Structure 1
């Protein structure tokens, strides 16, 4: 069962895409913040199960994931399961502005929040922007995605820029709650020219290829 309704903002005549995106972000964040800690932990386990069982992930030797913040679809269980299987896991490291870097996941005790509101990051050495090219699968954060692969991110454009370094044949999958998957034929998400489409989505219920 879905945890909430699906908020949607119709783009009225004259409305800026950025404005529509931001209104959607606020609605989705409000719904996410309303989830209890117990429900978030249950969902994190479900996300890990769905992602790890997908054949493309099961065959991967290196996977890029993100360390989730409290309101995001949880990745702690997924990180631990991948690491236990011997998969090399890369996590994003945020520099000043939109500077991009990556570092290896070395367990939950190595993660640290370097500034309020930033996602947890590894404490080990960074590997450079090109390290993402070693990933066989990329699990990226999102607030929502539609069935055409349009991703609604947090608004900073970090992943759109970081994914330029990824191999072209590597699938990018986003984690969202079931109600955050939109039908592009009836409720397309707003998209701009620089927005990169993603290849798949994993919810607490299923993995779904989008293109």
Structure 2
């Protein structure tokens, strides 16, 4: 039942995202970039793990550009399959403007050297894509499991910011024992906020 609940919620959230028009998506992306840039600047990290939004995912590449311009080392996920063809821990590549290539799952990844999965431990802050997040930090991803295998490799205490639309902050998200709780959420309307501890 738990898996069915997650699947149904994913379908509903993805359909709602697809229904958002380009002008609203652009306005939300600008608000997210402003909020995240300010929140990250307060912490003055040397290294941040981020992601490149694709399709209807909230956010924009302008956040990555702003961090890169400020001298922050931005690492982006590189998907790697394990020996059985399933998702393994994400590898990482350094973001460079105009240095992205098409990758599996419709993603765009850095075209430079691929760093090991353990490189996530060098990040002082991790920006995580999500379909939904609840006020206690429960995160619903797309279900492939890459982040579930990667986030446990982070340094203890590293902030985890789930990026969602305002409507995707829910009272409760179905989670399992392997799901890593977020410490913060970011939305266009709320900005960046700490979540309540479970």
Q: TM-score, normalised by structure 2?
A: 0.91
| 1:103 matched to 2:93 | yes
Identify which of 142, 148, 155 aligns with 1:154: 142
Q: How many residues matched?
A: 190
Give the corresponding residue for 1:85: 70
Partner of 2:106: helix, strand, or coil? coil
Partner of 1:21: helix, strand, or coil? helix
Deviations 1:114-153 (A, max 9, x none): 23x3311000000111111110100001000001110001
Give the corresponding residue for 2:158: 170
Q: TM-score, normalised by structure 1?
A: 0.86
Structure 1 alignment gaps of length 5 or more? 1-15
- CA distance, structure 1, for counterparts of residue 54 and residue 92 of structure 2: 17
RMSD: 1.3
- CA distance, structure 1, for counterparts of residue 65 and residue 55 of structure 2: 17
Give the corresponding residue for 2:188: 204
Give the corresponding residue for 1:9: none
Partner of 1:167: helix, strand, or coil? coil
Structure 2 alignment gaps of length 5 or more? none
Identify which of 114, 119, 127 aligns with 2:115: 127
Identify which of 61, 83, 94 aligns with 1:76: 61
Partner of 2:193: helix, strand, or coil? strand
Give the corresponding residue for 2:126: 138
Partner of 1:43: helix, strand, or coil? helix
Dislocated runs of 4+, deviation >3 Å: 55-58
Deviation of 1:37 (Å): 2.2
